Structure 1
Amino acid sequence: MSPLCGCCGEYIHKLTQQVSVMRKEIKNLRQMLDSAVRAHRKHMTSIQSAVSKMALREPDHKKDQPQPPPSPAPSQAALEQGNIQTVPIGHISSCFSMKNGTPRQPTICGPSRAELRIQQSVFNNPEHALMGLEHYSHVWIIFLFHKNGHLSYKAKVKPPRLDGQRVGVYATRSPHRPNALGLTLAKLDKIIGDTLHLSDIDMISGTPVLDIKPYIPEYDSPHARMGMDSEPCDLNTDQPQATTLSLNDRTDILNIHKTSETDDQSGDVGSLLSRDIFEAGVPVTDSPIVSAQSSHFTNLHNVLEEVKACVTQGDLCQLSCEREDQLSDSPKTKPPESTVDHPCYGEEAYSTIAGWIREPAVGGLEVRFTVHAKRELAEFLPTHLSGPSESDRPRFKFLRSPEEAAAAIRGVLSADPRSVYRRTRCRDRLFFFTLDTADITCWFGRGFAEVLQVRPVEQHTASM
């Protein structure tokens, strides 16, 4: 690299000095801003304390009575009492724009997609808050049911899957709760900058998100906990570490030995003699025929001896485990705890759910498309395709193809998105919902739902 001339070096030196001065000025400005923010918070705290004291002041005829001690700062007292002011970290942009037709659970409509952008009002660098999240496949989303329409709630509700039967609100996932908080498990497709790309979602576009947590099966799934807590049944813990082979490893080595025996029949004299030497118990190093492969067969002999011990040990362990299973399955006899030498931890870690979740009173529906609806759906273009000649055709924003849109429509309608009221008193009325940029019109019959029209949202709104 050629040396710099004198004028260039002086110019670079001046630029370096200016950058240094600018950094110092930025540092001073940040300190001043932090001081102003602290002063503002202190001032607001004093104002709130004064207002709270004025609100708690007694009438004039009770001025002589002793006053209660001053309460702590409102924010601190609210936090200690469990009352907090939520601040959304972002808002969902999804393929569902209204409550009508939005899946009640994320597993209903697999192709559903959404985006979540972290606001800069929470973090100056939202990308920093997402570092490491790309290693997880699913995330928990904590959000607000902002489209409830009212804040009333009841102790008993009517889940649509129970077709009018009442259960407690805390035994359901009803959005009408004392605190309108929602929890869903979404699939994390990718992270680009400050935006999360999600799928398998059940949230409306514009939903305020309060928090994101990674899904960890070892912590969140009882079945995964059971697998982690369980331990193998070992009869002899004093065995050397070299004998701890998996069952597949033992089977593979035995198969190799059997294969070598099979190959001996084809005329391999060296292998045949080495097998005879093994059976006779003669060390491999004493045989002049296999002197070139002495170390190899010595290792193989040791491995086979270890495999023999491990297989015998595994058979005994399997017999003892089967005996324990038979005793535990017997309704009359149960071995005492003192006789169980090798308990399998985690057997009591199981999960149960209400029966109506898997066997609801309302069954699934068959979804049909009219010929006209299929033709209209085929006119939509996926979001990743573009062309000047096809610019007049409607285009999806989240869905990748008309086939994926059809699968999403089937997922929504097969679960019967109607409420109990609409199901019982509005049977003969059309049902409308929006999926991505498509407005769906359908009707319900006995055991089926039929899609009548699939029109772009702009065309529908313009015609109304």
Structure 2
Amino acid sequence: MSPECDCCRERVNKLNQQVSVMRKEIKNLRQMLDSAVRAHRKHMMSIQSAVSKVGLCEPDRTPPPPPPASPPASPQAALERGNIQTVPIGYITSCFSVKNGTPRQPTICGPSRAELRIQQSVFSNPEHAVLGLDQYSHVWIIFLFHKNGHLSSKAKVKPPRLDGQRVGVYSTRSPHRPNALGLTLAKLDKIAGDTIHLSDIDMIDGTPVLDIKPYIPEYDSPHTRMCMDSEPNDSNTDQPQETTESPNETTDRLNLQKDSDEISERPDDDVPEADIPPTDSCGVSAQLSIPKDLHNVLEDVKHYVTQGDLCQLSFESKDQLSESPKTKRPESAVDHPRYGEEACSTIAGWIREPPVGSLEVRFTPHAQRELAEFLPTHLSGPPESDRPRFRFLRSPEEAAAAIRGVLSADPRSVYRRTRCRDRLFFFTLDTADITCWFGRGFAEVLQVRPAEQLIASV
């Protein structure tokens, strides 16, 4: 039987080889088909743009115009269908002039800075639109990935931090999406007229901005929501409280506090919940009721609720919250939505522990000397023509920190990291062109030259 088994094994191996070859061919055909589709789309777009410029569009091929009787209803109908025509409110002036080397997330490079000027075509008085925005420390920036190169997108992408593994596009922040919308949380430094000065950004120069929204931790951070739910709120009542009190109400409030202090001094460790006597406040014992889910009488009176003739005391402390985490506050003592334990946010494991680790960043002595030649943008005194000057960065030390932030996150693509033999890498930061190379676990900066000097030498 052994010869027959060997023969069958050989046939199986040949079949497996043929199947693998067929899979490779199918993959190549799919790639060729995708490239052909992209080329066809680009060719059709070029033809349409050329025809529109010449003005030779045939009437039967152009889409019919909307009915003239109801032009105001067509934008509303398009809005209800989800079709809108975006209008940029301004364009980013950033310290990153090209896509290569731009951080993928705003937290990677803290010293990165940018400016956003509100266009007058959107508002006749742009400074009115940003009135009150300086009261926030951070803002959400909604923008367009205008340097994607093509409009096609795939359902699965390869995030650089996953080192080639594929995941769904909606589980990542890939710029290649069906709608090329970007969202970043930027730090608001200051507002000067119609210009917003930002830092901690990940947008390149010329990025179209669609909208600005203030960052509010109470709404945007699940952790802050949970902390707000766990903290006592002294001013929460079922009905809005009046700012003034009558003498009788003041006396009743003092009596309530006095009686509650007496209750808090009683030993309650061994007293079961059913044996707790009702508290006599305001002279009527039936007016006070302690919630059944409270197991221990607390040390301090946190808040009380007054509603008509009913007076109710609610006791709560951090010790009780730690000892009985399942205990819930009365619904009447909450004036905002409760999120509970579901407010704890979870993220994918590869975000905190990616297969690609951070790199050590080094500077050669020559690169350090070249970087020290740059002058900060805010330096007072007569400008020196023979020394380069930063436009956004405030010092060579801040520029060095920005370079470390960009390179430590390994800005190379997966293809360049795994298949490209050339280890040299070039990117632009503010007015400096940086040349570096990547080794195993580190990146070394070789040269820092002014962008104008580099262009002149080329």
Does TM-score exceed 0.5, indicating one fold? yes
The residue type paired with residue 355 of structure 2 is: A
Q: 1:230–1:120: structure 2 CA closer, same or farther, 3 Å change rule?
A: same
* Deviation of the 1:414 alpha carbon: 0.2
**1:316, 1:140 → 2: CA distance?**
37
Q: 1:166–1:111: structure 2 CA closer, same or farther, 3 Å change rule?
A: same
**TM-score, normalization by structure 1:** 0.64
**TM-score, normalization by structure 2:** 0.65
Specify the alignment match of 2:376 in structure 1: 382
Give matches, 1:376-415, under 5 Å: 376-388=370-382, 390-415=384-409
Are 2:431 and 1:434 equivalent residues in the alignment?
no
Q: 1:109–1:54: structure 2 CA closer, same or farther, 3 Å change rule?
A: closer
Specify the alignment match of 1:159 in structure 2: 159
The residue type paired with residue 76 of structure 2 is: Q
Answer whether contact 1:140 1:215 (CA < 8 A) is retained.
yes
* Deviation of the 1:311 alpha carbon: 3.6
Q: Secondary structure at the match of 2:361?
A: strand
Specify the alignment match of 1:185 in structure 2: 185
Q: CA-to-partner distance for each residue in 1:91-114, whole Å, 9 max, x for gaps?
A: 000100000000000000000000
* Deviation of the 1:226 alpha carbon: 1.3
Of 347, 354, 358, which residue of structure 1 is paired with 2:352?
Answer: 358
Specify the alignment match of 1:214 in structure 2: 214
Q: Secondary structure at the match of 1:190?
A: strand
Answer whether contact 1:233 1:321 (CA < 8 A) is retained.
no
Larger % of helix: which?
Answer: 1
Q: 1:206–1:389: structure 2 CA closer, same or farther, 3 Å change rule?
A: closer
Specify the alignment match of 1:170 in structure 2: 170
* Deviation of the 1:79 alpha carbon: 1.8
Answer whether contact 1:233 1:342 (CA < 8 A) is retained.
no
Unaligned runs of 5+ in 2: 1-58, 238-251, 265-296, 303-314, 332-337
Give matches, 1:56-135, under 5 Å: 74-135=74-135
Answer whether contact 2:158 2:165 (CA < 8 A) is retained.
yes
Answer whether contact 1:92 1:115 (CA < 8 A) is retained.
yes
**2:61, 2:191 → 1: CA distance?**
48
Answer whether contact 1:226 1:347 (CA < 8 A) is retained.
yes
**2:74, 2:329 → 1: CA distance?**
56
Q: 1:362–1:123: structure 2 CA closer, same or farther, 3 Å change rule?
A: same
Q: Secondary structure at the match of 1:395?
A: coil
Backbone CA RMSD of aligned residues: 3.2
Of 444, 447, 452, which residue of structure 2 is paired with 1:453?
Answer: 447
Q: 1:55–1:126: structure 2 CA closer, same or farther, 3 Å change rule?
A: closer
Q: 1:382–1:149: structure 2 CA closer, same or farther, 3 Å change rule?
A: same
**2:259, 2:214 → 1: CA distance?**
35
**1:323, 1:387 → 2: CA distance?**
64
Q: 1:72–1:441: structure 2 CA closer, same or farther, 3 Å change rule?
A: same
Counting matched residue pairs gives 326
* Deviation of the 1:71 alpha carbon: 9.8
Of 419, 425, 435, which residue of structure 2 is paired with 1:425?
Answer: 419
Larger CA deviation: 348-357 vs 89-98: 348-357
**1:134, 1:373 → 2: CA distance?**
38
**1:185, 1:320 → 2: CA distance?**
37
Q: Secondary structure at the match of 1:398?
A: coil
Are 2:343 and 1:349 equivalent residues in the alignment?
yes
Unaligned runs of 5+ in 1: 1-50, 58-68, 251-308, 329-339
**2:444, 2:258 → 1: CA distance?**
63
